[in-house]
Chain A
């Protein structure tokens, strides 16, 4: 059985204060298991990004608990949250967020550098990660010398190079054309085959759902529906979301 790498229990997050306060996510119960690619889908403003930020230990929940590999983040300081991120989570962003003055290999190596892993061994691991995403021939290229799809693949290599338990991807294909989007999802699906690693992808693009093992729908800050698939050929199966509260 796949292990749970990330878990949210009755998580609420309020943003802003006073009259401007927004209850962004409400009573979220969610598990991300290893060996699984989970898609989080929902309209704009539904709370996808806030949920991703909370699950990624960038924001702390107003109430409820988040567990990373079984360890609660409750009461953790900002530095402790940062340590959890570098040990357990890899991020992929919509706009890549590569460092323009660094080569592809250096961008990937940075994820190891922040963990204190340096030298030839780190360089080798970075090059191996780039090879896994099909960019072995681009290690010395700068982001401006790469296409959008290649840049996102560098970002994926950066996310996986330190072997994190969870990969959280925010609209990874939104800035790409259809072919590149499919290629990126294909890579993410292959990464998710590792039983020790769970992948959560936030997306608007319903054409990509075939890559998902599980699809979760969010509306107005609540998880409203889940579709679980055993394989790409399986028909989606609707399931009630635990503790959805509505």
Chain B
């Protein structure tokens, strides 16, 4: 290995205080970027969680529907039109909407109802069963909202829109990014609780027959009905995510925070690398006097930047994983994927090498003859 790497490492670790200050700066920066992007991913997953868990090849919805939670209504009679298209195996109505949950204490809290007879059932059930929702007044709620909904577990009772309900299933981890609890019921009860007539639905979840061409069926469904949108699950997922992340400005805020982290990190690393280079300027002048090329000297600074990046990233990753663990049961979990880790590592490298530019500009101006006068 070249000695300029050894020189870079020794110089970096020689001044421990400065190294710690640099590492703290990088860790702060990387953790900020990691958390912001982790929130972005976590938010992106949460807003599409219902779409991801629905049993559908195609979604039929009212034209202009922006996201899953957008309560636009369709004529329920379109089910016949859908089933008439060649390749369609089933079209299951799904009703969504807000309602009020009245606790036994008399307090009211808003809930988001999801009503379906098979197309979208609660998952990760930890008590009771999803099949029990077919019973009159049966609901499924998530354990996260136990206190909020005033329930103790299976069999707990409450009122929705004046009708008595009881908890027949408890899930774990089905949380809403809007903080309004999801409540699963069957289709008929959902309509009653939301106050919708039997003639309407929010969505049709379309399943295709084996071997059916999804693109063709999608095209034929779209052509056969007016004022509806027919989307694949992936298309609807993207539309929902785009609406919540970019239509509301939430995504821009998260990206803004991440950008701030990059700027802070770049400034801190640039400042410390510059001051380190200035402190070791005689050594760089000596190298130059000995005939080293500029590239050799730049490599010393770049190696220092890379060492800063690797060490800072390693420490930040450890903190990042703690953040993931702490938020995993919260309202908005931070999600860090291997791809995100790789991207942030790359960003950290670019940030630190970019920061080295000011130091490199300093050594470019070195006059090797100064070694004679010092």
Contacts and interface: CB of A to CB of B under 8 A. Distances in A.
B292 interface: yes
A62 B367 CA distance: 16
A170 B372 contact: yes
Contacts of B373: 49
B203 to A, nearest CB: 67
A86 B4 contact: no
Interface residues of B, number: 28
Interface in A2-38: none
Interface in A75-113: 78-79, 82-87, 89, 91, 93-95, 97, 99-102, 106, 109-111, 113
Nearest to B367: A58
Contacts of A170: 372
A115 B282 CA distance: 20
A59 interface: yes
B371 A86 contact: no
A110 B291 contact: no
B294 interface: yes
A6 to B, nearest CB: 15
Interface stretch (B7-15, B142-150, B349-357): B7-15
B289 A114 contact: no
Given A93-B371, A101-B7, A113-B4, A83 B286 contact: no
Interface in A22-77: 49, 52-53, 56, 58-59
Given A58-B368, A114-B287, A170-B372, A97 B282 contact: yes
A79 B6 contact: no
A230 interface: no
A86 B1 contact: no
Q: Could you say which of B6, B287, B372 has the most chain A C-beta atoms within 10 Å of its C-beta?
A: B372
A110 B369 contact: no
A242 interface: no
Nearest to B9: A101
Interface in B244-303: 282-283, 286-294, 296
A49 B373 CA distance: 8
B363 to A, nearest CB: 12
Contacts of A99: 7, 283, 286
Contacts of B367: 58
A232 interface: no
A96 to B, nearest CB: 9
B3 A82 contact: no
A237 interface: no
B2 interface: yes
A89 to B, nearest CB: 7
A81 B371 CA distance: 16
A110 B286 CA distance: 11
A91 B371 contact: yes
B290 A110 contact: yes
A56 B371 CA distance: 12
A109 to B, nearest CB: 6
B289 A110 contact: no
B11 A82 contact: no
B290 A114 contact: yes
A83 to B, nearest CB: 7
B374 A95 contact: yes
A193 interface: no
Contacts of A83: 291, 293
Interface of A: 49, 52-53, 56, 58-59, 78-79, 82-87, 89, 91, 93-95, 97, 99-102, 106, 109-111, 113-115, 118, 158, 170
Interface of B: 1-4, 6-7, 10-11, 14, 282-283, 286-294, 296, 367-369, 371-374
Given A97-B286, A102-B7, A114-B292, 9 more contacts: A82-B293, A83-B291, A89-B291, A93-B286, A99-B283, A101-B11, A109-B3, A113-B2, A170-B372
15 contacts: A58-B368, A82-B292, A82-B293, A82-B368, A89-B291, A95-B374, A97-B283, A97-B371, A97-B374, A100-B14, A101-B10, A101-B14, A102-B6, A106-B3, A114-B287
